[in-house]
Amino acid sequence: MKNHGAPLEGACKSYEEDLVLYYYGESGAAERAAMQQHMSECGRCRNFVEDLGRVLPQMAPQPELPQSFWDSYFRETMAKLDAHETRQSWWSSWLAPLNGWLVPAFGTMAVAALAITLVLEKSDLVSFVYTPAPSIPVEVLVDSNQLEFFKSLEILESLGTLEKLDASKPQPKTSENNNRKPTTSVDYA
Amino acid sequence: MESTHDLGDEVLVSLCQQGQADCFEVLVRRYMEKAFHIAYNFTRNTETAKDISQDAFLRAYTNIKRFDGRSSFYTWFYRIVVNLCLDHARRSGRVMWESLDKTAGESGGQRQLVDTQYQPDQQAIAGEATRRANATLESMPNKQRTAFLLRNQQGLPIADIAKVMKTTEGTVRVYLHRAVAALRHSLVEFV
């Protein structure tokens, strides 16, 4: 074991990446020979690779688990797969009637319904968008009370007209006429 | 007649795709330890690693018909495991590492980064070195950590790591070098 406390030396910069690959056995034959040649002459690079060989295998160790763990793991995994399969088969049996000719039929109906809905919504939308909002001043708008008022005015106006017509006619001097009383008396003021 | 246990991955996958779901059991038995260990390397938690790796099998099973055989089954499957690990890390904000002291203690201190056989002060140094090395791993960018863990812990060749990570071998070499350089830098005072 290397003397503890000694700093982990860096390799020559131009060799460092290749030395990492060399350590992992990822160099080609030519590169491997070149690295070995360089390390025979360079103590820093040689130490660098030795340090990697000491440190890296101990990084992030794996837990040592008993066989019972793996048996349980396998059973659980298969149970999860079975549960998934059961869920899928339940759905597929439920949806089975939709297979075959029913699927295109339902599809066509759905498309038709969607198209009708869109057309209706669009026409509503068009009328909503393109119909100009009434720009009648509030003062002009009438409510139900005002409407009754205007109706009574019309009646009164027509009564006045009738009375004027009556007054302009020559009065026949008969006893019936003398006994007759005015039916309506309206004060316009 | 040849047992399904002797069949290669590609044949088993092909049989699964034809509806022989029981062939997937063989793939589970074949890859469960590797899947668990990859997940453990990322999460440092036994239960989480178990859940993630089992979820990976479930996803592989449900998507087996989409496997087109352009890569080997194990690189395809490792990619599922790694993606789930990275998703988990993103969701949890950071990788939840178990106590490093506990990890070292579980194996009687054998796994600390320096030899601790003789002197108590050296044990303290070893503990600190282990903590720092693991903190460095935790703080690494995901791609560097993935490349490092797949190479250093799983022993995957760089060519396969490139397939798992869907990148070039040259990029994996750079990730690997940066990860090792970061670890070396973090340990420069201790080893």
* Chain B partners within 8 Å of A52 (Cβ): 180, 184
- CATH annotation of B7-94: 1.10.1740.10
Contact (CB<8Å) A77/B28? yes
Least confident of A121-125, A165-169, B152-156, B179-183: A121-125
Q: In whole angstroms, give the CA distance from residue B165 to residue B150.
A: 10
Contact (CB<8Å) B40/A74? no
- The ipTM, to two decimals, is 0.79
Summarised one tens digit per residue, pLDDT across range B5-60 is 788 899 999 999 998 888 999 999 999 999 999 999 888 899 999 999 999 999 99
Q: Which residues of chain B have pLDDT under 50?
A: 95-111, 115-116, 118
Q: In whole angstroms, give the CA distance from residue A1 to residue A34.
A: 27
Q: Which pairs from A21-29 meet CB under 8 Å and 24+ separation?
A: A21/B158, A21/B173, A21/B176, A21/B177, A22/A49, A23/A49, A23/A52, A23/A53, A23/A56, A24/B151, A24/B152, A24/B158, A24/B176, A26/B157, A26/B158, A26/B173
Ordered by start, the domain boundaries in chain B are 7-94, 97-139, 140-191
The correct answer on CATH 3.40.50.300 for the domain covering B140-191 is no
Distance to chain B for A53, nearest Cα, Å: 11
Contact (CB<8Å) B112/A84? no
| Residue B28 contacts A where some CB pair is shorter than 8 Å | yes
Predicted pLDDT of residue B22 = 87
Predicted pLDDT of residue A184 = 46
Q: Is the fold of B7-94 the same as that of B140-191?
A: no
Contact (CB<8Å) A78/B25? yes
Predicted pLDDT of residue A125 = 58
* Chain B partners within 8 Å of A10 (Cβ): 184
Predicted pLDDT of residue A70 = 96
Predicted pLDDT of residue B109 = 38
Q: In whole angstroms, give the CA distance from residue A164 to residue A161.
A: 5
Partner-chain residue, chosen from A59, A64, A80, that has the shortest CB–CB distance to B152: A59
- Mean pLDDT for the stretch of residues A21-36: 93
- CA-CA-CA-CA torsion for B32, B35, B38, B42, nearest 10 degrees? -110
Contact (CB<8Å) A76/B151? no
Q: In whole angstroms, give the CA distance from residue B158 to residue A17.
A: 14
- Mean pLDDT for the stretch of residues A103-131: 74
pLDDT band at A2 (very low <50, low <70, confident <90, very high): very low
Summarised one tens digit per residue, pLDDT across range A67-83 is 999 999 999 999 999 88
Q: Which pairs from A40-44 meet CB under 8 Å and 24+ separation?
A: A42/A11, A42/A12, A42/A15, A44/A9, A44/A10, A44/A11, A44/A12
